[in-house]
């Protein structure tokens, strides 16, 4: 059974940094993709950063490109999202998501029918 558990969220000031972690226990890191979605109050959920389970291919939404970095440690079954230069517009619930078939770009652009979702973690950026 695959379980995705996020950690590392919290409150940070504008311009600050946070690193989210997702422990993806049981996920086969030899195929598919894993990444991060977020949902801000009153807005649709959106995929912001995804990477291939094998590594080497990443996708970033335009709103976070250059500020967020996704990475993984397969031995620890963990995916990270380093978030720098945060702004109040980044305030949202962040979800770890994974799928055993999709490439990163497809994972980040798909809202429904994905294999696994975490419960989400709150990130709040104060002005």
pLDDT in tens, 28-79: 999 999 999 999 999 999 999 999 999 889 999 999 999 999 999 999 999 9
Dist. CA 10–CA 109, nearest whole Å = 26
CA-based angle 72:91:20, to the nearest 5?
A: 20
> Would you state the pLDDT for residue 111?
85
> Would you state the pLDDT for residue 1?
92
């Amino acid at each position: 059974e695959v379980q995705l558990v996020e950690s590392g969220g919290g409150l940070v000031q504008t311009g600050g940094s946070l690193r989210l972690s997702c422990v993806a226990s049981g996920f086969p890191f030899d195929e598919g993709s894993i990444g991060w979605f977020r949902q801000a109050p009153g807005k649709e959920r959106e995929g912001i950063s995804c990477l291939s389970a094998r590594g080497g291919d990443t996708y970033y939404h335009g709103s976070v490109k250059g500020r967020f970095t996704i990475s993984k440690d397969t031995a620890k079954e963990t995916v990270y999202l380093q978030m720098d230069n945060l702004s109040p517009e980044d305030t949202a619930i962040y979800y770890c998501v994974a799928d055993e078939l999709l490439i990163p770009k497809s994972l980040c652009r798909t809202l429904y029918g994905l294999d696994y979702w975490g419960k989400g973690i709150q990130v709040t950026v104060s002005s």
